[in-house]
Amino acid sequence: MAYVVAEPCINCKYTHCASVCPVDAFREGPNFLVIDPFECIDCDACVPECPVEAIYPDDEVPLEWEHYIDLNDRLSEQWIDHHIDQTTDPMPDADEWAEKEDKEELLVESWN
């Protein structure tokens, strides 16, 4: 079992979760974080650090966000060179975006 970052992270990108990961399983995208399922050791350290409650065990992801399991897998490969292991500033207006729903269309997958 691995942990999965879901929709609430989009346009927030709080990074407290990445700074507590003991195996550097987090990858950073332009406006979202993902967890590499092959690096994750299921330690649960990241879950309480996420202020928007975007991180779930892969077998507990809410039904409407189950596709984020595959998305984390795919994007962790795409963003392989974008490890993040420290706390950085959240995105501008992160606090406003934290309360919004239906943000998936805003996900930026490419650094280009």
53-77 pLDDT per residue, tens: 999 999 999 999 999 999 999 999 9
Cα-to-chain-centroid distance, residue 59? 16
Q: How far apart are the C-alpha atoms of 80 and 101, rounded to whole Å? A: 27
> In angstroms, rounded to a whole number, what is the distance separating the alpha carbons of residues 20 and 46?
6
| Per-residue pLDDT at 105 | 97
Quickly tell me which residue has 């991180």 as its tokens: 55
- All domains of the chain in start order, with CATH: 3-101 (3.30.70.20)
Its pTM surpasses 0.75: yes
The encoded tokens of residue 112 equal: 């280009």
Residue 112 binned pLDDT confidence (cut-offs 50, 70, 90): confident
